[in-house]
Structure 1
């Protein structure tokens, strides 16, 4: 496995934070995005990314010779929680998604320890999940309720 992330992983991972930071700022400032309310856009993006994070574990399980059933089962948890969060009233939607994204960065730290993904991915996930989760939480705590 490669010891360092590729440029593509760094650039695309960093670019994935732009909607979290931009929409989060708009929520906090109470501004719209081309006439659209940023809160549902941020919540939808957070739910999509949470599902993507579950897919990472599914892919790691599929690539592993053992392919443990528990990894497949755990991999669907972010999608289910994120989907439920979309039905939560403001501000709990963004708070739940923020907590989920932060927690899942920690949950997935077993993947590099078990050798299922490269060590750099665990470190990158902590940074990306940290920024994304904090942006969701900031919008959920600092933004207007409606």
Structure 2
């Protein structure tokens, strides 16, 4: 058995990214925070999530995040399986976050992508079937993905 415990991100503004994450997942709490040194640079960090899974946010980033419109190597997006895609989308949009991409229409899932203030893309996917072969069906889309936001 295995599970993904955490994702570690370096961001320019911890509070801005924390706001995005807690808007999407209002039940997530800051589990801990502190300061450390990373290759001679002092930075702040925090863990936000549940008792079992979390995202680490670290300050003191330098440079720009990967251009999501490019084919440059790096993180493309972080995907979360959710029960209420419409609720997450509503909360994010009410707080000023724009949909970046609408996933292709599919009979067994719905997906939306948002970009957080640090430039990381978050995918939220709601499965419409409990049958694994349907959930994991590749093909069957009835439309193309739509890029709607400014990545």
TM-score, normalised to structure 1's length? 0.27
More contact order relative to length (CA 8 Å, sep ≥ 6):
1
Which one has the bigger strand percentage?
2
TM-score, normalised to structure 2's length? 0.27
